[in-house]
């Protein structure tokens, strides 16, 4: 009897423990369900490191060490073997270059053609006021007019009419230096002798 009594006591104790575990299991199940509701609709992801798709920048190249030979690429160092004959001193080189330049300048000057100077032959009719005008003195006054590029030529007396004569004078002028209108004005300034001036001919030489 005592054996059965001990077994019954243990069975009751196990049933009580099972009931307690059942209650604990139910509580845990409820809390798990509440936790799942809270997490419903949310995605939990583990933090994954992001890898940049761009390749890592290469380190800047170190500047190349300057080589004294680089100067030759830019024409520095005029004392190179190509420019200076072996054994030639700096003074000898300067003299040689000066002589070469002198020869080149002389050749260029020889080849250069002198600019053509344009000239003209001009014949003028210079009329006096009347038949009492001294044509000899009138011609003298006209020839006293001096201009750069002006050369007076022949002169003759030409009959106008009623005993009045005029001077017909030829000239040679450098076109660049002498303006015909300027020459006419200078002649007409001789008011005591000259009445008017006309250009008879103007021919390029």
What are the tens digits of pLDDT across the range 86-119?
667 888 888 889 889 988 888 887 776 667 778 9
**Structural contact between residues 142 and 169, judged by C-beta atoms closer than 8 angstroms:** yes
CA–CA gap between residue 159 and residue 167 (Å, rounded): 9
User: For residue 18, what pLDDT is reported?
Assistant: 80
User: For residue 60, what pLDDT is reported?
Assistant: 53
Distances (CA, A) of 63 to 14, 58, 68, 80, 163: 87, 15, 15, 27, 103
- Domains recognised in the chain with CATH numbers: 119-204 (3.30.70.60)
User: For residue 137, what pLDDT is reported?
Assistant: 95
User: For residue 106, what pLDDT is reported?
Assistant: 84
Compute the half-sphere exposure of residue 95: CA atoms within 13 Å on the CB side of its CA. 5
Averaging pLDDT over each range in 57-71, 85-99, 114-128, which range is the top one? Answer: 114-128
| pTM greater than 0.75 | no
Averaging pLDDT over each range in 8-17, 20-29, 47-56, 166-175, which range is the top one? Answer: 166-175
What does the radius of gyration of the chain's CA atoms come to, in whole angstroms?
62
Residue 167 in tokens: 């001077």
């Amino acid at each position: 009897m005592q054996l059965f009594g001990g077994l019954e006591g243990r069975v009751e104790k196990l049933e009580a423990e099972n009931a307690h575990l059942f209650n604990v299991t139910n509580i845990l199940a409820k809390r798990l369900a509440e936790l799942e509701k809270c997490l419903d609709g949310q995605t939990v992801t583990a933090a994954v490191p992001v890898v940049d798709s761009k390749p890592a920048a290469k380190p800047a190249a170190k500047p190349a060490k300057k080589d004294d030979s680089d100067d030759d690429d830019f024409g520095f160092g005029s004392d190179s073997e190509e420019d200076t004959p072996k054994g030639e001193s700096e003074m000898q080189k300067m003299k040689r270059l000066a002589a070469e330049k002198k020869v080149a300048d002389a050749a260029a000057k020889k080849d250069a053609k002198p600019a053509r100077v344009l000239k003209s032959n001009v014949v003028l009719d210079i009329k006096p006021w009347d038949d009492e005008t001294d044509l000899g003195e009138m011609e003298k006054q006209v020839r006293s007019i001096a201009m750069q590029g002006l050369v007076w030529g022949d002169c003759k007396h030409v009959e106008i009419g009623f005993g009045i004569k005029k001077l017909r004078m030829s000239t040679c002028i450098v076109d660049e230096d002498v303006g015909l209108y300027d020459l006419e004005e200078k002649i007409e300034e001789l008011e005591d002798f000259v009445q008017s001036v006309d250009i008879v001919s103007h021919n390029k030489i």
